[in-house]
Amino acid sequence: RLTSLHDTLSHRRAHGQKSLAVLLDPDNLDEAGCRHLLDLSEQHAVDFFFMGGSLVLSSRQAALIRFIKSRSAVPVLLFPSHSLHLDDQADGILLLSLISGRNPDFLIGQHVIAAPLLRQSNLQILPTGYMLVDTGRQTTASYISGTTPLPHDKPAIAACTAMAGEQLGLRLMYLDGGSGAMYPVSPAMIRAVRQAVDVPLVVGGGINTVDKARAALQAGADVIVIGNQIEKEPSFLADMSRTVRQFNQDHGLARI
Ligand code: 1GP
């Protein structure tokens, strides 16, 4: 019996089972849009909702999480860019340490502020090595964090960064081209990181076609994250769900 989100992710990883996460940005989603996405996610399997953004301008996050939790069993994981973005209504939190950068505030500073609040909360904590990758233009995440992303064509740097993150005890790696990336993280980089660490690997940023999603899964992503393209075209959620399920079926894996 799987008791925690971390167990679920590790179990899926051990069985080569891929997952789909939909990124919900509270700034770009109103209640009607959220209702539509929840209806779609009932019809087409979604494994996780990630909730957050690099720059949260609105105060809608709490209401959106409440709304989702009242209508859906899909786990909601906070994907915060700041200690202000905690919310106990979610199921868990990707506790991101921005290991691709050298800004101490996002490596440990925000975490110190959040620690006592997290301790009091019921949130399941997923310590995550977060790696921003250069994908053609400066993203909000790299600007706001004041960090230099990993060079797109240097898989070895990404692999060593992930290795160091795993050795420090991080239990999940997230390779992110940043929301709306011009192109996704390369399969060569995903493959290099996959070979370097055992922990589950999340990949997102700029995955806006079925082929790009398939390439990321093939290269070793355990979880793919889709944000922008579903905001533009909600029916893309169905395409992504089908792609992940098809991949699992082709590899002889039943949905867990
Ligand atoms: C960004 O990985 C996510 O943090 C998703 O990116 O919005 O480009 O799909 P997109």
What's the CA gap between 228 and 4, in Å, rounded?
28
Q: Say what angle helices 236-250 and 210-219 make with each other, to 10 degrees.
A: 40
Mean pLDDT in residue range 129-157: 94
What's the CA gap between 206 and 213, in Å, rounded?
10
* Structural domains of the chain, ranges and CATH numbers in brackets: 5-246 (3.20.20.390)
Q: For 205-254, what is each residue's pLDDT tens digit?
A: 999 999 999 999 999 999 999 999 999 999 999 999 999 999 999 997 65
Backbone angles phi, psi at 154, to 5 degrees: -125, 70
Residue 98 Cβ < 6 Å to ligand 1: no
Report DSSP letters for 128-148, one per residue: EEEEEB--SS--HHHHHHT-P
| CA–centroid distance, residue 1 to ligand 1 (Å) | 31
Residue 131 Cβ < 6 Å to ligand 1: no
Residue in the structure block whose two tokens are 């868990």? 92
Which atom from ligand 1 is nearest to the alpha carbon of 204?
2
What's the CA gap between 200 and 194, in Å, rounded?
9
| All residues at 6 or more sequence positions from 5 whose CB lies less than 8 Å from its CB, including other chains | 75, 77, 91, 92, 124, 126
| CA–centroid distance, residue 149 to ligand 1 (Å) | 15
| CA–centroid distance, residue 253 to ligand 1 (Å) | 26
Over 90: is that where the pLDDT of 149 sits?
A: yes
Where would I find the beta strands (DSSP E) of 133-248?
A: 172-176, 201-204, 223-226
Residue 180 Cβ < 6 Å to ligand 1: yes
What's the CA gap between 117 and 38, in Å, rounded?
29
pLDDT band at 57 (very low <50, low <70, confident <90, very high): confident
Pairing of strands 76-78, 92-98: parallel
Q: For 16-40, what is each residue's pLDDT tens digit?
A: 999 999 999 998 898 899 999 999 9
Q: What is the mean pLDDT of the chain?
A: 94
Over 80: is that where the pLDDT of 56 sits?
A: no
Residue 128 Cβ < 6 Å to ligand 1: no
Q: Cβ distance 228 to 208 under 8 Å?
A: yes
Residue 231 Cβ < 6 Å to ligand 1: no
The residue whose C-alpha atom lies closest to atom 2 belonging to ligand 1 is 204
| pLDDT for res 84 | 84
